[in-house]
Every structure is written in C-alpha cells, then in structure tokens.
C-alpha cells in the first residue's frame, strides 16, 4: 500500500531578460560537439530573431551585453 507525504519545495532562480537589439553571449562547455553548438545557435536565432547570438565554447551560462545600457538603469 502506497503512503502519502507532503513535500514543500522552494526554488530560487535568476532570470536573464533578453530584449530586441541585445547580444546574447551563450557560453557552452568546451567539449560540446560542433553540431550541437550549431543546433543551439539556430534555435536561439529562430526564437530570438532580433537578438545577436554569440556562442563561446569553454564555459556554460548565458549573459546579455547591452552597449547602450547605463549602469543601474532599471528600464522595463
């Protein structure tokens, strides 16, 4: 007979907001196969047509470079 249990989970996440005109720097592990890199770039460019996508092999994560943004500017 199965027992029932309550489970409370809290998840904290950081979200990167990407806007049209941004340059998305997508960091990928160094050993990522070239085909996978190209697939990731193609999918991002398809979903974010107004964003420049740059893949950087050797690290993982995503940052956004916004050259016209002033430090501390909290634009929506």
Q: Tell me, yes or no, whether 50 lies in a domain.
A: yes
Q: Tell me, yes or no, whether 74 lies in a domain.
A: no
Q: Summarize pLDDT for 5-36 with one digit per residue, the tens.
A: 888 888 888 888 899 999 888 888 889 899 99
What percentage of the chain has pLDDT greater than the value 70? 88
Q: Tell me, yes or no, whether 69 lies in a domain.
A: no
Q: Tell me, yes or no, whether 12 lies in a domain.
A: no
Query: Which domain covers residue 27, as residue numbers?
Result: 23-61
Structure tokens at 49: 């047509």
Q: Tell me, yes or no, whether 37 lies in a domain.
A: yes
Domain count, the chain: 1
Q: Tell me, yes or no, whether 10 lies in a domain.
A: no
Prediction pTM value: 0.59
Q: Tell me, yes or no, whether 8 lies in a domain.
A: no
pLDDT of residue 60: 63
Q: Tell me, yes or no, whether 7 lies in a domain.
A: no
């Amino acid at each position: 007979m199965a027992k029932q249990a309550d489970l409370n989970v809290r998840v904290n996440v950081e979200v990167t907001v990407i806007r049209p005109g941004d340059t998305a720097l997508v960091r990928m592990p160094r050993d990522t196969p070239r085909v996978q890199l190209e697939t990731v770039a193609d999918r991002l460019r398809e979903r974010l047509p107004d964003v420049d996508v740059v893949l950087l092999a050797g690290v993982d994560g995503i940052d956004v470079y916004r050259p016209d943004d002033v430090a501390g500017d909290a634009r929506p």
